[in-house]
Amino acid sequence: MTRDDIIRIAQQAEVPIRGHYDEQGLTPQELERFAALVAAAEREECADVCEGHYDTAQAARAIRARGEK
């Protein structure tokens, strides 16, 4: 995910993004760190799902089903 992607998603979620003169909100760097932590957690969850399955199609279905919870 690029920095622009992270900022776009944050804007869609209405996360306040701090500019040079703003005192509230997250800086782009803080958003990037947050996104990296979320992505790492998601990768680990996906790896856990995959460990319980024998083929890729079954693992893919299980990963997609996680989004339906």
- φ/ψ of 34, rounded to 5, equals -60, -45
Dihedral angle over CA of 53, 54, 58, 62, nearest 10: 10
Percent of the chain with pLDDT over 90: 0
d(CA 49, CA 42): 11
Tell me the HSE value of 62 on the side-chain side, using a 13 A CA sphere.
15
Total tally of structural domains belonging to the chain: 1
Query: Each residue of 26-50: pLDDT tens digit?
Result: 888 888 888 888 888 888 888 888 8
Q: What is the pLDDT of residue 50?
A: 86
Tokens, residue 39:
């992505």
**pTM, entire model:** 0.65
What residue numbers bound the domain in which 27 lies? 3-66
Q: Decide which of 69 and 10 is more confident.
A: 10
